[in-house]
Amino acid sequence: MKKIYIPLLSFLLLQSCSSDLLNTSPESIKQTNNFYKDEAQLEQGVNAVYGSLQYIGQYQLAMPAIGELPSDNTYDEVPANDSFTYGELDFFTIQPNNSLLASTWKENYMGIQQANIVLNRIGNVVMSQSQKNIRTGEVKFLRALMYFNMVRIFGDVPLVTKESVNVNDYFGQGRTSAETVYDFIESELKDAIPLLPENTSQKGRVTKGAALGTLGKVLITRNKYNEALPYLKQVESLSYSLLPDVAKIFDVTNKNNAEIIFDVQFASGLNGNSEGSQAYQMFSPSGFSPGAKGHNLPTKEIYNLFTTGDKRRDAYIGLTNNGIPYSKKLTKPSTAPADGGSNIVVLRLADIYLLIAECYAKANDPLNANIYVNKVKNRAGLSSVDITSQTQLLDEIALERRKELIGEGHRWFDLVRTGKAIQVMTAHFQNTPGYGTAAIKSYNLVMPIPQSQINTDPAIKQNTGY
């Protein structure tokens, strides 16, 4: 089946965005104004929105790192590499000049700007209404996903929903409240759901299941469990299924399989090795492969959490000859160290099942909660549980999420949304050698606003504590 492989740098329209918030140069405005004259150009614009997900500041490196390193799931083996960029996340010494956070802000807004352009122009493009609806649904989903990541990482962020051709349009706006941003995300996803197909022959495209599942996760993040459950349950009725063999989920020869609801596409050996990801190189133990940086490695703690008979441990985590854990969800590229071909999974069915279990547990329905947590446990080769205590059941679900989704960028956000981050990380630092100076404070629940953005627009104020 045809897959979407989107060049990281070559799209004309993504080149129109500068390092500042939604700034465009006169030349790029001229190029953009001459574009979107027909369906083929519109398709290039939509692909460019997808392409933004491949950037370092989005799913190539930032989301897997920011979603794991501040948690007890992963650590930075060599903090001095890359100017302590990743080590700051590990020890909560995060600075406003952190280059990964700067890329995260910049490159999400690049994608948002591109989405705004497409949604502004699509009405005037001659194409079938059905195709126009699908592309609108896709871009609304992608814009909502980027805002969901931004608001979880930074808290209040500028909400920009219109095409910008002049940086002064938004200069001085400041940051929009997180609640308002969340309201927008919910609305966008609800708009997208009826527009999207259940299936598509083009792998990597957004489908109805992705919007339903992401909306469910957004609602759970806002503590709206009763509202989330119906959306999550709709995903179950679609054509997804748990793979019987956990080792096959992340096999690069088995991409876009029946368990994957949405992932970001990468490929080795294409376009001069420009379609690959740096994730394997950056997130492998130092010396394990050429140029490996030792960032974002699974902790020994998470490795030891897997009980005897749990098939996931050896499928998801390997050990070097020196006993250092590494992720087996990323495959070593055969072409160049920074040309990894592993897709980055954003949403898959096991994640949805555990969210459904959490909704039932919150509703004091242990019967159904156990059914869904056991779907994941049984697939891993573990016996079923029958837990009646709500507290114990929620702990069991959190443990299963931690093990099942290790390295996929969910653990930190799970800790924050459940109110457990400070408690869990304080205990982790106390019980883990090498963290004697590490401490988490309440302000660390969001990241600092990049200093470059504050320097550019003083109306954007820094988060408290940084």
pLDDT per position as a tens digit, 108-118: 999 999 999 99
CB 254 within 8 A of CB 266: no
- Among residues 214, 207, 206, 209, the alpha carbon closest in space to that of 189 is found at 214
Amino acid sitting at position 240: Y
Q: Using the structure block, give the residue that is written with the tokens 């022959």.
A: 201
CB 386 within 8 A of CB 370: yes
Question: 349 pLDDT exceeds 90?
Answer: yes
Question: 123 pLDDT exceeds 80?
Answer: yes
3-class state of residue 344 by DSSP: strand
CA distance 88 to 92: 6
Count Cα atoms within 13 angstroms, Cβ side, for 330: 32
Q: Residue 51 has what pLDDT?
A: 96
pLDDT in tens, 441-457: 999 999 999 999 999 99
Question: 26 pLDDT exceeds 60?
Answer: no
Q: Residue 94 has what pLDDT?
A: 98
Q: Residue 116 has what pLDDT?
A: 97
Please give the average per-residue pLDDT across 133-159, as a whole number.
98
Q: Residue 31 has what pLDDT?
A: 57
Question: What CATH architecture is 1-206+420-459?
Answer: Alpha Horseshoe (1.25)
Q: Which two tokens stand for residue 280?
A: 């394997």
Amino acid sitting at position 390: Q
Please give the average per-residue pLDDT across 100-105, as a whole number.
98
Q: Residue 33 has what pLDDT?
A: 67
CA distance 248 to 379: 12
Question: 35 pLDDT exceeds 80?
Answer: no
Q: Residue 164 has what pLDDT?
A: 80
Confidence band, pLDDT 50/70/90 cuts, at residue 207:
very high
Sequence-distant (6+) residues with CB within 8 A of 183 are none
- Stretch among 33-47, 197-211, 225-239, 401-415 having the lowest mean pLDDT: 33-47
CA distance 129 to 227: 31
CA distance 151 to 158: 10
Q: Which two tokens stand for residue 96?
A: 């406003």
Q: Residue 19 has what pLDDT?
A: 33
Confidence band, pLDDT 50/70/90 cuts, at residue 206:
very high
347: left (phi over 0), alpha (psi -120 to 50) or beta: beta
Q: Residue 37 has what pLDDT?
A: 85
CA distance 103 to 263: 20
Please give the average per-residue pLDDT across 52-73, as a whole number.
98
Question: 302 pLDDT exceeds 60?
Answer: yes
Q: Residue 133 has what pLDDT?
A: 97
Rounded to 5 degrees, φ, ψ at 348 are: -140, 170
Q: What share of the chain is helix, strand, coil (3-state, %, to 5)?
A: 50, 5, 45
Tell how far CA 256 is from the center of its chain: 16
CB 372 within 8 A of CB 354: yes
Instruction: Dihedral sign for Cα 291, 296, 300, 303, please.
Output: negative
- Among residues 345, 412, 423, the alpha carbon closest in space to that of 153 is found at 412
Rounded to 5 degrees, φ, ψ at 392 are: -65, -35
Confidence band, pLDDT 50/70/90 cuts, at residue 201:
confident
* Mean of per-residue pLDDT scores for the chain: 92
Q: Residue 445 has what pLDDT?
A: 98
Radius of gyration of the chain (CA): 21
Q: Residue 139 has what pLDDT?
A: 98
- Stretch among 9-23, 28-42, 316-330, 333-347 having the lowest mean pLDDT: 9-23
H helix or E strand, kind and range, residue 338: none
CA distances from 462 to 146, 365, 447 (A): 20, 42, 10
CB 56 within 8 A of CB 199: no
Question: 340 pLDDT exceeds 60?
Answer: yes
Sequence-distant (6+) residues with CB within 8 A of 100 are 56, 57, 61, 62, 65, 66, 85, 86, 89
CB 62 within 8 A of CB 148: no
Q: Which two tokens stand for residue 250?
A: 């992340």
Helix residue spans in 380-435 (DSSP H): 390-404, 411-417, 421-431
Confidence band, pLDDT 50/70/90 cuts, at residue 27:
very low
3-class state of residue 75 by DSSP: strand
pLDDT in tens, 168-184: 777 889 999 999 999 99
CA distance 282 to 169: 38
Tally helices (H) and strands (E) across the chain.
Answer: 18, 6
Helix residue spans in 342-410 (DSSP H): 349-362, 366-379, 390-404
